[in-house]
Amino acid sequence: MEMGFGEADVVKALECARNNRQDACNYLLGEKTETSAPNDLHTPLPKDHPLYKIVMERCEIQKALLTPKFLDVMRDLDERRAGVVDFSDDPEISPILYQLSKAIQKYSSHG
């Protein structure tokens, strides 16, 4: 906004750039690349979504989401190099994955 862009444009740029400030500036300046283009994977969850609610209600999930170990697990799951069952014995990861999977199940059954 300091550069003269509107708040809505800045928010959209940050969403498209996954909160990377340099990429968001590039997006605003017209350097929109495929990596900065919006897609379903990087669309923010609505505030009434069960995953959003569970993350916002539980600080242990918020903390886990910021750890390199959990981010590596999520990358492995996303790239299908591992399944949830591969982390069932991990005392740090398993409880978080369980809570998230329950929220996903809840959403899927109502959605």
**Distances from the Cα of 55 to the Cα of 86, 93, 108, angstroms:** 22, 15, 17
- Closest C-alpha among 16, 72, 71, 11 to residue 41: 16
The rounded mean pLDDT for the chain is 79
Judged against a pLDDT cut of 90, whether residue 71 lies above it is answered with: no
pLDDT tens, position by position, 40-53: 555 677 788 878 88
Whole-model pTM: value is 0.53
